[in-house]
A and B are shown apart, each in its own frame.
Chain A
Amino acid sequence: MEANKEDFKYKKRAFLSAQIDLSKFNKNDFEKATEEEKKQQDVMGESRTFFQDGMRRLRKNPLAMMSIFILLAIVVIIIVAPMICPYSYDTIIRVDGKRDRGVVNLGMMQYSDMEIEYMERTGEKLFPHIFGTDSLGRDYFIRCIYGTRVSLSVGVVAAIMVLIIGVIYGSISGYFGGKADMIMMRIVDVIYSLPDMLLIILLAVVLNENLGPLIQGTVFESLGSNMIAMFIVFALLYWVGMARLIRGQILQIKKAEFVLAARTIGTPNGRILRKHIIPNCLSVIIITTALQVPSAIFTESYLSFLGLGVSAPMTSLGSLANAARDSMQSYPHRLIIPAVIIVLIVLALNLLGDGLRDAFDSKLN
């Protein structure tokens, strides 16, 4: 080959030919690729998991990112604020250990006369009443913080209950199919048609009488029987939407060949559900759960507003708004602040849910 290298020439390209002009090259330009060079062709793009992929898309969504920021800020504030603020949600403010009659109904950042006098006398700075005080002389800022804590935890706990019950029920129904599926879905239909608000109100009334002594001395006491009634209703009723959704997803994924492949291997049913089917509906599960939180917060606020929420002195955003109704004209900020927090949380969670759907769902289909 070396010998005839000299006389080796490529044909000149025909006029107007679209072919590459080979005469510009010589044979050395066309050396065979070495194994190593071939390997380089193998190299694929950065390995990206499903989650990394989704998160990248989520990060490009400004509304969703803003929502995450707002939610994180709220969470940090409700965790940190009670550590800094010397007041408590249920104590009436005293100055120097003495009852202060002027501390009620203060405006934002105001001090009472007694407090001003105390500060002048001792030179010590008292913590400001950022949102003022309520009609009983309790610091309104810390009450809002606790209200947000309660509302958010109600939302999250309810969403988790819906998640657990809905996913288990929906996966069993969808995976096993047939008669079991039919019966389970008829039960869902019946539950779906029950009026949830009416049930919550009825349950709250009934439980109020019976549950009171039972929960005395437990953590539930400060939340009150109304809250328990709400959780029970959430657990009983609200999972059906989730269950339906999961079932639909599973019916679809069950037909995929990778599930058949798993059965060919001999993978038991439980493992197929855990390792193949649930991970493939994960995006739907996350999105629905994210959207469940605001719905629960809204229900709680609504019930608290009706006077069926947490028991005093514990508070929630809804009960704060409810209490502010009477003095709406004189102290509008007491209604506006909890209302704005509710709107912020619900809006942020909804936008985040939508963002998650956009970022993760496209991969499914």
Chain B
Amino acid sequence: MENEKVKTKAQSGNLLEVEHLKEYYPVSVGMKKVPLKAVEDVSFTIKPGETLGLVGESGCGKTTVGRTILQLYKPTAGRIVFDGDVLFDSEKKIKVDMLPYRKRMQMVFQDPYSSLDPRMTVEDIIGEPLDVHKLYANKKERREKILSLMELVGLNAEHAMRYAHEFSGGQRQRIGIARALAVRPQFIVCDEAVSALDVSIQAQVINMFEEIQEKLGVAYLFIAHDLLVVHHISDRIAVMYLGRMMETADADELNENPIHPYTLSLLSAVPIPDPETARRSKRIVLEGDVPSPLKMPAGCPFRTRCKYATEQCAKEMPELKDRGNGHLVACWNK
């Protein structure tokens, strides 16, 4: 792999801009078709070479956000701009052919088992993006590229002819990462790329992500449900709840000065190693279940579990407001 970093066209601005993204799944309840509001108004930006962590409970729509950005699902509404090019705009009715962008935006999947074709060798899995975009002149170059990718993600090149089912979870995830890197993308969605792995291997893979970022200058949308993991790798963090953005801030700022009640409860869910400190800290324990995205509560979606909830929360959804230093919070009372 040549060691030059990927260059961005929009030098001054953002690599990715997502504005008011909505994604509704049509689901049938009985005989009726109703929209399941998996993502309801999400906006964020990512700068070249930056990592945005996206956290939230299971089912809050993180995967949906990632896949919608890559246009694997057609967005219901919103606007997506990548490197100065509008990929999707529901108002202006713009939808571009994604093929050239498939080389520039990639994804690492949540499940290292089902995301690799069991009938393909590692060489063919990593080689597929090279084949599709014709990124080599001859067989020899293809093989060289594949081997250097395997080396980059720490896989033994001798195992190129093996099938995915012969590898462990961590090794499989590395195969998935090599496949995503094969086209030299500027942006990768890492959808809970480490959640399925053992804690010790998680650390290895996260370090690898960081090394690759340093080497190649890619930007990540790093999805996880664990704030601790995200804090380590992210420059900025966005907290999601039931398809909405609750709080966005720089990683350290969010960790030291969390404002939104939901973020506070997420942070207190992080285990504290020292029992003494743990006892003294005022934990906010989340009570109640996440409401079904089919029956979204009016106003603030968190109000059914929020101890600061007031009447106003039931009436209107609070907007994301800047509390200084780019720390955005959507809450009436905090």
Q: Which residues of A contact B (CB under 8 A)?
A: 39, 42, 44-45, 47-50, 256-258, 260-268, 271, 275-276, 279-280, 282, 363
Contacts and interface: CB of A to CB of B under 8 A. Distances in A.
Contacts of A275: 117, 120, 128
Contacts of A263: 72
Q: Classify chain B's interface size.
A: 20 to 34
Which 7 residue pairs are nearest across A and B when measured between Cβ atoms? A266-B102, A257-B115, A279-B119, A258-B117, A257-B114, A265-B129, A264-B107
Nearest to B67: A260
Nearest to B163: A49
Nearest to A258: B117
From B102, B115, B156, B179, name the one whose CB has the most chain A CB atoms within 10 angstroms. B115
A77 B118 CA distance: 39
A267 B161 CA distance: 21
Contact of B179 (A44, A261, A268): A261
Interface of B: 67, 70, 72, 98-99, 102-103, 106-107, 109-111, 114-120, 128-129, 132-133, 156, 159, 161-163, 166-167, 176, 179, 183
B107 A280 contact: no
A276 B129 contact: no
Given A267-B132, A275-B117, 16 more contacts: A44-B162, A47-B162, A48-B166, A50-B163, A257-B115, A258-B115, A258-B117, A260-B67, A261-B109, A264-B72, A264-B106, A265-B132, A267-B128, A268-B132, A275-B120, A280-B118
A47 B161 contact: yes
A266 B103 contact: yes
From B70, B99, B110, B166, name the one whose CB has the most chain A CB atoms within 10 angstroms. B166
Contacts, number: 78
A363 B120 CA distance: 14
Given A50-B118, A258-B117, A266 B99 contact: yes
A268 B163 CA distance: 23
Contacts of A268: 132
Given A264-B70, A280-B117, A257 B109 contact: yes
Contacts of A42: 156
B111 A257 contact: yes
B278 to A, nearest CB: 29
A50 B121 CA distance: 11
A200 B162 CA distance: 49
